[in-house]
Chains A and B, each alone.
Chain A
Amino acid sequence: MNCIEARQAIGHLDSGVRPEGPLAKHLGQCELCRQHYGDAMLLETLGSLKVPEPSPQFLERALQRASEEAVPSPVRSTKWRIPASLAASFLIAAAAMLIWDQMPEEQAVEIVEQRAPAEQVVALEAHRQEVRIVIHSSDEHAAAEVSIELAGNLELEGYAGQQRLAWTTSLKQGANLLVLPVVLHNERGEIRVRSQFGQGSHEVNVQVARKSQAGRTAPLVEPFAPINA
């Protein structure tokens, strides 16, 4: 058997049948045909991998979530470096920090190191102020999910009437800053920030109150040291 005949014979082999007779003899002597035989079997084997069909419900839901939860431009442009994070062993130190517009020396910072849901109180001097959430991630994450839920008479500037925002973002290793332009229409409100990646999730609740209600908060503390697992 020559190479041309061998290639034809390989093409006619039934799947799963080992070569015999003249073909087997030729393959035993010819490296190139052996190569060809292996390639043909490999293609056939890989081609037999069955792939399930996606569930139509999943596809609909996935499309829906993509356009609803990926937050488009307005707020992101301000600085949503959202870090969300974390995998199963997330270790995060989250700090909710209130920036006093005109009085930087009076910044109030409190740090929450959390492995369980944590609570944080911030006092708003003004009707509209930025609340910053710092999330330390021990690792880099390409696709972390972050969601924000608002309770009480709180809104995020640019998102009037929305009680819930969620989107996917990347987290860099180290400190990631999330700046929330909060508008408080009432005396008190609450922001719950949740981040999720893989099977890990992490949550921080920030109680927001008008300055008169909350009193002065703790002195500035820094830097925010990441917690290690």
Chain B
Amino acid sequence: MDADFELKTAFERSTRPHLTTLYHSAYRLTGSSADAEDLLQELLFKLFRQFDQWRDLDNPKPWMQRVLYNLHVDLYRKRRRTHGVNERTLDSDAQAIDEMANPEPSPAVKAEGDQQQLRILEALQALGPEQRALVTLHLIEGHTLEEVSAILDVPLGTLKSRLHRCKAQLKRTLQLEPFPENVRLA
């Protein structure tokens, strides 16, 4: 009993400082609060079962991130196989946006902001799970490609070409080209 209690306490002490950051990553990966919660819960189950393997690490965060990204890829595949493409995630986008702490902007500004949020979430949604992990880690969370390579266990060269394609796709879907195609070619 005492041993159980100690284990539990040690586990909580090691994970608690990282929970918010991990939740944020989970949200960026899944695009909805409900899915982010599911992913984080799965992560904690796994981390607890593997506690022996990481509890003595000086900095366990990369370990946690790695487990998170791997779980994300697994769960994404499973969900896709079982319910088609992310139905649930898309359904809950609007609700997730409502839940965001928003310091009372005017209705018009708020609606515009929501539109933009939805566009970003949809653009991310259109990427595959590995691509989405790469974009989240590198472009949003600011990890270097070397760090991403270690977290995802994907060779640097593969990441670079993947990143190139991701950026091109996102720029297209988010319409971030400086001019419409025909103008540029003129």
Contact = CB atoms under 8 A, between A and B. Distances in A.
Contact of B139 (A28, A42, A53, A139): A42
B78 A41 contact: no
Contact of B178 (A38, A47, A53, A54): A38
Interface in A138-175: 139-143, 167-168
A101 interface: no
A47 B44 contact: no
What's the interface size class on B, roughly? 35 or more
Contacts of B179: 24, 27-28
A52 B44 contact: no
B47 A89 contact: no
Contact of A51 (B11, B27, B75): B27
Contact of B120 (A38, A49, A199): A49
Interface in B1-56: 4, 7-8, 11-12, 15-16, 19-20, 23-24, 27-28, 33, 36-37, 40-42, 44-49
Given A47-B140, A168-B45, A54 B23 contact: yes
B83 A87 contact: yes
Interface string A116-140: 0000000000000000000000011
Contacts of A48: 116, 120
Nearest to B26: A54
B11 to A, nearest CB: 6
B101 interface: yes
B176 interface: yes
Contact of A142 (B40, B74, B101): B74
Nearest to B99: A52
A199 to B, nearest CB: 8
Given A54-B23, A62-B40, A67-B8, A38 B167 contact: yes
B73 to A, nearest CB: 10
A48 B174 CA distance: 13
A66 B50 CA distance: 11
Contact of B44 (A19, A24, A65, A140): A65
B45 A46 contact: no
Given A46-B140, A48-B116, A67-B7, 7 more contacts: A52-B33, A52-B101, A58-B37, A63-B12, A66-B11, A66-B41, A87-B83
Interface of A: 18-19, 24, 27-28, 34, 37-39, 41-43, 45-54, 58-59, 62-63, 65-67, 69-70, 72, 87-89, 139-143, 167-168, 197-199
